[in-house]
């Protein structure tokens, strides 16, 4: 082994570099350090600080965008839900607020047979917080789509519109429902789903299930009741 005296190009202090005697010249030139260990450590610390600051910046930006998007999709009456309000189902919120989707269980269904149980308020509030968690983890804003069952039905009906613009808009909405990072469907199955709406809903759920995409839904009825009138080839996989 040989010790070579080198001058650090950063602090100009001399330091010793130990290397094998039999190193080829070009290898020695490639591996010879230009900065002393102290300066190298400082450079690495500075780099880590910059990377951490960049992650923090991206995280904050993603959360800010996600909050704006979630607010845009949330009905105005649902935006300022007060969990301390006497009519708010605080116990239900406490049970559900920590839920986050996983690849194994990306779904959350909230069923309440009676109105006034806060299931829609809880769902929109939960969706907003889940979206923020996703943004914080991914360091980018997730794509969101919040829709009511009535809007879904109206969208499907427009697929048969005589106007190309209506058809195109409907197809675009359904595509967003299929592919959004997080989908919320409020009052799922409210009213009898027509065969065409049921087929489109199945296509959405099937795509999302195959890709492990997160979804929150609310309903007044159980999946069995919602799907009871559907055709056999859709009913069982829809319930699953």
Using an 8 Å Cβ cutoff, are 65 and 40 in contact? no
Query: What pLDDT, on the 0 to 100 scale, is given for residue 87?
Result: 86
**pLDDT at residue 225, as a whole number:** 79
What number is the average pLDDT over the span 109-124? 83
For residue 1, the model assigns a pLDDT of 75
Residues whose CB is less than 8 angstroms from the CB of residue 174 and which lie 6 or more positions away in sequence, other chains included: 155, 156, 159, 200, 203, 204
Handedness of CA 27, 30, 34, 40 (dihedral sign): negative
Given a cut of 90, is residue 182 above it in pLDDT?
yes
pLDDT computed for residue 194 by the predictor:
83
List CB contacts of 63: < 8 A, sequence separation 6 or more.
132, 135, 136
pLDDT tens digit sequence for 22-73: 767 777 888 889 999 999 999 999 999 999 999 999 999 999 999 999 999 9
The model carries a pTM of 0.83
Distances from the Cα of 160 to the Cαs of 9, 177, 193, 197, in angstroms?
Answer: 72, 18, 16, 12
Which tens digit of pLDDT belongs to each residue from 141-161?
999 999 998 899 999 999 998
Which tokens in the block code for residue 151?
Answer: 């809007």
Q: How far apart are CA 202 and CA 188, in angstroms?
A: 12
**8 A C-beta contact, residue 191 and residue 231:** no
Q: Does residue 177 register a pLDDT over 80?
A: yes
Q: Binning pLDDT at 50, 70 and 90, where does residue 116 land?
A: low
Higher pLDDT, 17 or 24: 17
User: In this structure, are residues 216 and 124 in contact, taking their beta carbons and an 8 Å threshold?
Assistant: no
- CA max distance for the chain: 85
- The mean pLDDT value for 173-194 works out to 88
| Mean pLDDT on 198-226 | 89
CA atoms within 13 A on the CB side of 155: 19
At 204 the pLDDT is 92
Which two tokens mark 84? 């301390």
* Helix runs in the chain, H state only: 25-31, 37-73, 76-79, 90-96, 119-138, 149-157, 164-179, 195-210, 223-226, 232-239
What mean pLDDT comes out for the span 170-191?
91
Model confidence at 5: pLDDT above 70: yes
């Amino acid at each position: 082994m040989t010790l070579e005296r080198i001058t650090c190009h950063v602090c100009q202090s001399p330091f010793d570099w130990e290397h094998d005697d039999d190193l080829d010249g070009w290898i020695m030139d490639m591996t010879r350090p230009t900065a002393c260990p102290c300066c190298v450590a400082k450079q690495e610390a500075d780099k880590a600080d910059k990377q951490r600051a960049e992650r923090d910046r991206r995280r904050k930006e993603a959360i800010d965008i996600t909050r704006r998007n979630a607010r845009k999709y949330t009905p105005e009456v649902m935006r300022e839900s007060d969990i301390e309000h006497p009519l708010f189902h605080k116990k239900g919120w406490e049970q559900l607020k920590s839920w986050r989707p996983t690849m194994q269980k990306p779904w959350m269904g909230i069923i309440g047979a009676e109105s006034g149980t806060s299931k829609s308020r809880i769902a929109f509030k939960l969706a907003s917080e889940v979206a923020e968690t996703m943004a914080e983890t991914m360091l980018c804003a997730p794509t969101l789509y919040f829709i009511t069952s009535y809007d879904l039905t109206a969208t499907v009906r427009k697929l048969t519109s005589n106007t190309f613009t209506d058809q195109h808009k409907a197809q675009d909405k359904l595509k967003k429902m299929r592919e959004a990072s997080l989908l919320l469907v409020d009052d799922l199955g409210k009213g009898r789903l027509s065969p065409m709406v049921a087929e489109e809903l199945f296509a959405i759920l099937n795509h999302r299930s195959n890709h492990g995409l997160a979804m929150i839904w609310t309903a007044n009825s159980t999946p069995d009741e919602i799907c009871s009138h559907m055709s056999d080839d859709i009913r069982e996989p829809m319930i699953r």
